[in-house]
C-alpha cells in the first residue's frame, strides 16, 4: 500500500523507540485505514517480528509464531516445535531479547474472540516478562469495539498496561488528494465524495479510466471488495447488524433527526439511543450541533450524519440497488447517481471548506471551534469562532458553475445577524468559498470590506 501522511503517528513511535524503555502501544482503527502500513514503515529499519493473527486454531497460530521468532533468533528447535501456549511466547522474548526490539501482533481481536482468557494471559505476559524489558510491544486491531472492550476498557485485564495508543482516522481531503496528485481540485472532489479518505479505497480507483468506469469496475461489480465492504465491516463489529443497517440507511435518506430515525426504523427510543451511541463510538456516524451551542449534551438541536463518504455513497447507491447490480444493470443505477450526485458533492464540499478554514487560522484568527450553524429558518455553511477574543467568521460554500456575486455576501451578512453569540461585543469576519471563482464586483467588494475569498482551495489576494 502506498504510504501517505501519518507523519505525526510515525514521529511519535520513533520518539518512543529512542527512549529504550519498554512500550506497550495500542493502535486501532477501521479496517483498511492504514494501521498495518504505519507499523511496517515504523519497523522497516528496526529489529522486529510482525505476526498477523487470524481465525485459525490457537495451536496453528502458535506454531507459526514459533517459526517467525525461530527464524529471527536462529532457533531451529523453536522453528520445528513452535510454542504450546502464549505465556511461553512472552517468556521466550524475555530470555532472548537483550537489545531494543519490536514485537507486533496484528488483529488481536481474533485472539480475544477465540479465547476469553486472552486478556488475562497477555496481562500476565506483560507484567511478568515484558514490562521491564527493552521490548517495544505493539498491539493492533481493526474491530474498534473489540479493541476498546478487550484492551482499553477499565474492565479489561489489560487496562492500565498500555504506555500509549493511537486511533487511526481516515485521511482528510488534502491528504487524500496526494493519491491523485495529477487530478484537479474539482476532479478529485468527485472521487473523494465517493471514497472518502480510506487509503485502501483510494488505491482501488484506476487513474487511467473514467469515474463511471471506476464505479462500475470497483464498486458495482460483485467481485470487487468494495461491493460488500460495508456489510463486511458491520458483520465484523456487530453480531446482529440488521438494526444498524436500518439506522444507517435512514440517515443516508436525510432522516437526520432522532425522531425521524425512530419513525423510519421502528425502534423504541431506548433501543435506538443505545444503537446510535454505539455507531458514534465506532465513528460510523456523528452527531452535529450548531457550533455556537455551549451545552452539547443537553441541546435538542443535534442531527445525525454518516461520518464516512463511502458509507454514505454505498447506502445511497449500492445497498438499495443490490438486486439490479447483481444482474449488471449498471446504467440504471448510474442514472440514479447522476440525478443526485451534485447534492452529495455540495455536502462534501462544505466539509472540505471547514477543513480549509482550519488551514487559514494563521491568516484570519485562531479558531477554537469550527462548524456549521442553523435554526428553523436559516443555515450557515461555515463558522469559526474564538470565545476568548470574541471573534467570529461566517462563511458560505458554493459548489456551482456560476461565479459568486455580491448577493451571496449580502445574504450571508443578513443571516449572520440571526446568530446569537456575543452579539454586543463580537467582531465579525466573512469568508466565501467558490468552485468557479468570483465576479469582478465581488472581488472589489471583498477588498473594501475585508472579505476572505477562497477559489477551490486557494486564498485570493
Higher-pLDDT residue of 315 and 3 is 315
Q: How far apart are CA 254 and CA 276, in angstroms?
A: 16
In the prediction, which pLDDT does 20 show?
Answer: 83
Q: Is the pLDDT of residue 2 over 60?
A: no
Identify the band that residue 297 occupies on the pLDDT scale cut at 50, 70 and 90: low
Q: Is the pLDDT of residue 3 over 90?
A: no
Q: Is the pLDDT of residue 1 over 50?
A: no
Identify the band that residue 300 occupies on the pLDDT scale cut at 50, 70 and 90: confident
Q: How far apart are CA 43 and CA 14, in angstroms?
A: 10
7-167 CATH, one of 2.60.120.620, 3.50.50.60, 3.40.50.300, 3.60.15.10:
3.40.50.300
Lowest-pLDDT range of 56-60, 281-285, 452-456: 281-285
Q: Quick count: other Cβ atoms within 10 Å of Cβ 396?
A: 21
In the prediction, which pLDDT does 220 show?
Answer: 97
Q: How far apart are CA 416 and CA 394, in angstroms?
A: 7
Q: Of 79, 71, 27, 20, give the one whose Cα is nearest residue 49.
A: 71
Higher-pLDDT residue of 238 and 329 is 329
- Strand (E) or helix (H) holding 276: helix 269-281
Q: Is the pLDDT of residue 296 over 70?
A: no
- Residue 46 is given by DSSP the state S
Say yes or no: domain 360-459 is CATH 3.40.1350.10: yes
Q: Is the pLDDT of residue 222 over 60?
A: yes
In the chain, where the domains are located: 7-167, 175-340, 360-459
- Strand (E) or helix (H) holding 400: none
Q: Which long-range contacts (CB under 8 A, 24 or more apart) does 83-90 make?
A: 86/58, 86/62, 86/118, 86/121, 86/122, 86/125, 87/121, 87/124, 87/125, 87/129, 88/62, 89/62, 89/65, 89/125, 90/124, 90/125, 90/126, 90/128, 90/129, 90/130
Identify the band that residue 4 occupies on the pLDDT scale cut at 50, 70 and 90: low
Q: Of 71, 65, 70, give the one whose Cα is nearest residue 111.
A: 65
Higher-pLDDT residue of 267 and 236 is 267
Q: C-alpha distances in angstroms, 308 versus 28, 73, 175, 194, 299?
A: 17, 43, 15, 9, 24
Share of the chain above pLDDT 70, in %: 98
Rounded to the nearest integer, the mean pLDDT of the chain is: 93
Q: C-alpha distances in angstroms, 322 versus 18, 214, 319, 331, 404?
A: 51, 17, 6, 13, 40
Q: How confident is the model over 193-197, as a mean pLDDT?
A: 96
Q: Is the pLDDT of residue 295 over 90?
A: no
- Strand (E) or helix (H) holding 279: helix 269-281
Q: How far apart are CA 130 and CA 387, in angstroms?
A: 47
Q: Cα 452 from chain centroid?
A: 29
Lowest-pLDDT range of 53-62, 172-181, 292-301, 388-397: 292-301
In the prediction, which pLDDT does 410 show?
Answer: 97
Strand partners, 382: 395
Identify the band that residue 266 occupies on the pLDDT scale cut at 50, 70 and 90: very high
- C-beta of residue 423 within 8 angstroms of C-beta of residue 461: no
Q: What is the pLDDT of residues 351-386, one digit of tens each?
A: 999 999 999 999 999 999 999 999 989 999 999 999
Cell (9 digits) for 150: 478487550
Q: Do the two domains 175-340 and 360-459 of this chain adopt the same fold?
A: no
The pTM of this model reads 0.89
Q: What is the pLDDT of residues 75-132, one digit of tens each?
A: 999 999 999 999 999 999 999 999 999 999 999 999 999 899 999 999 999 999 999 9
Q: How confident is the model over 30-51, as a mean pLDDT?
A: 94
Q: C-alpha distances in angstroms, 327 versus 150, 216, 283?
A: 42, 12, 33
Q: How far apart are CA 280 and CA 263, in angstroms?
A: 20
3-state secondary structure of 227: coil
- For 143, residues 6+ apart whose C-beta sits below 8 A from its C-beta are 109, 236, 237
Q: How far apart are CA 69 and CA 92, in angstroms?
A: 9
Class of domain 175-340: mainly alpha
In the prediction, which pLDDT does 342 show?
Answer: 93
Lowest-pLDDT range of 141-150, 265-274, 315-324, 399-408: 141-150
Amino acid at each position: 500500500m502506498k504510504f501517505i501522511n501519518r507523519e505525526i503517528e510515525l514521529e511519535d513511535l520513533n520518539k518512543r523507540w529512542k527512549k529504550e524503555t519498554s512500550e506497550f502501544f495500542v493502535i486501532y482503527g477501521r479496517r483498511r485505514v492504514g494501521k498495518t502500513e504505519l507499523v511496517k514503515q515504523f519497523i522497516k529499519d528496526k529489529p522486529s517480528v510482525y505476526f498477523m493473527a487470524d481465525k485459525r486454531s490457537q495451536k496453528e497460530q502458535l506454531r507459526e509464531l514459533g517459526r517467525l521468532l525461530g527464524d529471527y533468533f536462529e532457533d531451529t528447535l523453536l522453528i520445528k516445535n513452535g510454542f504450546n501456549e502464549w505465556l511461553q511466547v512472552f517468556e521466550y522474548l524475555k530470555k532472548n531479547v537483550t537489545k531494543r526490539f519490536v514485537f507486533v501482533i496484528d488483529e488481536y481481536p481474533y485472539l480475544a474472540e477465540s479465547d476469553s482468557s486472552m486478556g488475562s494471559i497477555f496481562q500476565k505476559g506483560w507484567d511478568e516478562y515484558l514490562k521491564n524489558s527493552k521490548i517495544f510491544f505493539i498491539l493492533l486491531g481493526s474491530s474498534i469495539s473489540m479493541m476498546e472492550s478487550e484492551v482499553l476498557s477499565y474492565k479489561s485485564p489489560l487496562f492500565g498496561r498500555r504506555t500509549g495508543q493511537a486511533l487511526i482516522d481516515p485521511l482528510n481531503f488534502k491528504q487524500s488528494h496526494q493519491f491523485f496528485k495529477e487530478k484537479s481540485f474539482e476532479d478529485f472532489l468527485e472521487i473523494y465524495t465517493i471514497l472518502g479518505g480510506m487509503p485502501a479505497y483510494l488505491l482501488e480507483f484506476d487513474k487511467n479510466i473514467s469515474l463511471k468506469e471506476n464505479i462500475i469496475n470497483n464498486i458495482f461489480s460483485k467481485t470487487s471488495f468494495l461491493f460488500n465492504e460495508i456489510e463486511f465491516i458491520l458483520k465484523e463489529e456487530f453480531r446482529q447488524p440488521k438494526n444498524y443497517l436500518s439506522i444507517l440507511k435512514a440517515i443516508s435518506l436525510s432522516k437526520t433527526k432522532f425522531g425521524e430515525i425512530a419513525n423510519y426504523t421502528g425502534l423504541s427510543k431506548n433501543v435506538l439511543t443505545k444503537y446510535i451511541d454505539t455507531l458514534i463510538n465506532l465513528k460510523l456516524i456523528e452527531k452535529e450541533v450548531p457550533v455556537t451551542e455551549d451545552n452539547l449534551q443537553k441541546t435538542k438541536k443535534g442531527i445525525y450524519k454518516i461520518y464516512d463518504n463511502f458509507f454514505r455513497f454505498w447506502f445511497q447507491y449500492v445497498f438499495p440497488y443490490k438486486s439490479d447490480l447483481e444482474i449488471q444493470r449498471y446504467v440504471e443505477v448510474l442514472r440514479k447517481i447522476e440525478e443526485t450526485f451534485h447534492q452529495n458533492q455540495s455536502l462534501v464540499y462544505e466539509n472540505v471548506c471547514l477543513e480549509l478554514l482550519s488551514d487559514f487560522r494563521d491568516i484570519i484568527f485562531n479558531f477554537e471551534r469550527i462548524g456549521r450553524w442553523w435554526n428553523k429558518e436559516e443555515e450557515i455553511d461555515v463558522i469559526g469562532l474564538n470565545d476568548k477574543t470574541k471573534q467570529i467568521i461566517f462563511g458560505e460554500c458554493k459548489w456551482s458553475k456560476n461565479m459568486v456575486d455580491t448577493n451571496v455576501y449580502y445574504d450571508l451578512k443578513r443571516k449572520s445577524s440571526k446568530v446569537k453569540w456575543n452579539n454586543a461585543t463580537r467582531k465579525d469576519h466573512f469568508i466565501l468559498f467558490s468552485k468557479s471563482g468570483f465576479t469582478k464586483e465581488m472581488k472589489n467588494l471583498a477588498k473594501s470590506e475585508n472579505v476572505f475569498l477562497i477559489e477551490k482551495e486557494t486564498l485570493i489576494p
